Amino acid sequence: MTADFLIVGQGVAGSVLAWTLDQRGCSVILADDPVLPSASAVAAGIVNPLTGRKLVRTWKADELFPFLDQFYSGIEHALGVQFFHSKNIYRPFRSVREQTDYLALLADPAVRAYVTETTNDQVYSRFINNPFGGLEVTQAGWLDLNEFVRVVKGYFVRKNQYFEGRIIPDDLHIKADKVGWKGIDFTKVIFCDGVLSRENPLFSWLPYNPVKGQILTAVAEGYSIRNIVNQGIFILPVRDGLIRIGATYSWHDLDWQTTNEGREFLESKVRELLTIPYQIVAQQAGIRPSTKDRRPFIGLHPEHPAVGIFGGMGTKGVSLAPYLAEQFSRYLLDGEDLEPEANISRCVSL
């Protein structure tokens, strides 16, 4: 038996790449072990073209954001589901000086293209501490990652192209032009298993810089703001009265356990921002597959061209994966070039 691709890992990266290759007519086996921890199962799934206190435009934003909207809405239309929610991001100013600084940044057309012309601050003032007003970032939103992963899994299960279990690299029979596994010869095996790739002997040489993050889920009765609020932390409305609060960033104690320190940090921040009572009902922790140079790891192994990787997307997997999966598919199937900043060839000397 033969197949084109074995995709190892079904977080956002594996789901997006498997769907992209399937839509190109490839035979794809999607594999995932539900016992293993997954950053996608924890992440809030927010997409944001302007990040940080200086409203820095996300890398390749002009290409990524129109593409991701088309990609996710295309799957929703094809399968009759909904998991992507377009929303603006409201950024309340912390001070008059910040207000002045932010408004000055809007002189840059590259920034202004992602900000609304006017903002109705009164809509937010019932729930959010915003005495200095704020601005709204457009072309943003959030992907319900658990629903997206569930839908993609169901699609491949119905096609009898899903394997539930762990793929051990030592169990692969790697040759120059194919990889054998459980009696199936694959043209390529692509690892999309996030931070777990650090433990894969084939890709342990890649310079990951994993980051632990924690988020809270809370009930806030009467909270009816539809957009995401961001001021150092985010408040994401899941539905009326239910919000997510995040996120922390830690480069030490890299485990999947929640901490009181993480909860206390987020609560101290949200108390400054949210003006109505809330009750924490859940806390989650995950490890983001970030990289030293903050660029993804995409490409084929320098010594085993039948083995590849598609990962290292850090906090931006939801926005990066669709565009880069399309590019990777063209590289694999049509011989087109990969984005140099994402190609693992930049790390081969390591």
Q: Which H, E and C letters describe the chain, residue by residue? A: CEEEEEEECCCHHHHHHHHHHHHCCCCEEEEECCCCCCHHHCCCCEECCEECCCCEECCCHHHHHHHHHHHHHHHHHHHCCCCEEECCEEEECCCHHHHHHHHHHCCCHHHHCCECCCCCHHHHHCCECCCCCEEEECCCEEECHHHHHHHHHHHHHHCCCEEECCCCHHHCEECCCCEEECCEEEEEEEECCHHHHHHCCCCCCCCECCEEEEEEEEECCCCCCCCEEEECEEEEEEECCEEEEECCCECCCCCCCCCHHHHHHHHHHHHHHECCCCEEEEEEEEEECCECCCCCEEEECCCCCCEEEEECCHHHHHHHHHHHHHHHHHHHHHCCCCCCCCEHHHHCCC
74-131 confidence digits (pLDDT tens): 999 999 999 999 999 999 999 999 999 998 999 999 899 999 999 999 999 999 999 9
pTM: 0.96
Comma-separated ranges of CATH 3.50.50.60 domains in the chain: 2-43+145-207+293-347
Topology at the third CATH level for domain 89-137+211-288: D-Amino Acid Oxidase; Chain A, domain 2 (3.30.9)
pLDDT at 124: 97
pLDDT at 286: 95
2-39 confidence digits (pLDDT tens): 999 999 999 999 999 999 999 999 999 999 999 998 88
| Mean residue pLDDT across the chain | 96
158-212 confidence digits (pLDDT tens): 999 999 999 999 999 999 999 999 999 999 999 999 999 999 999 999 999 999 9
Q: What is the mean pLDDT of residues 136-144?
A: 97
Q: Would the pLDDT of 350 be above 70?
A: no
Comma-separated ranges of CATH 3.30.9.10 domains in the chain: 89-137+211-288
Q: Report the percent of the chain where pLDDT is more than 70.
A: 99
Q: What is the mean pLDDT of residues 46-57?
A: 92
Q: Would the pLDDT of 249 be above 90?
A: yes
Domain range 2-43+145-207+293-347, CATH class: alpha beta
Q: Are 139 and 58 in contact (CB under 8 A)?
A: no
- How many whole angstroms separate alpha carbon 128 and alpha carbon 121? 9
Q: Would the pLDDT of 305 be above 80?
A: yes
Q: Would the pLDDT of 218 be above 80?
A: yes
Q: Are 311 and 289 in contact (CB under 8 A)?
A: yes
pLDDT at 253: 87
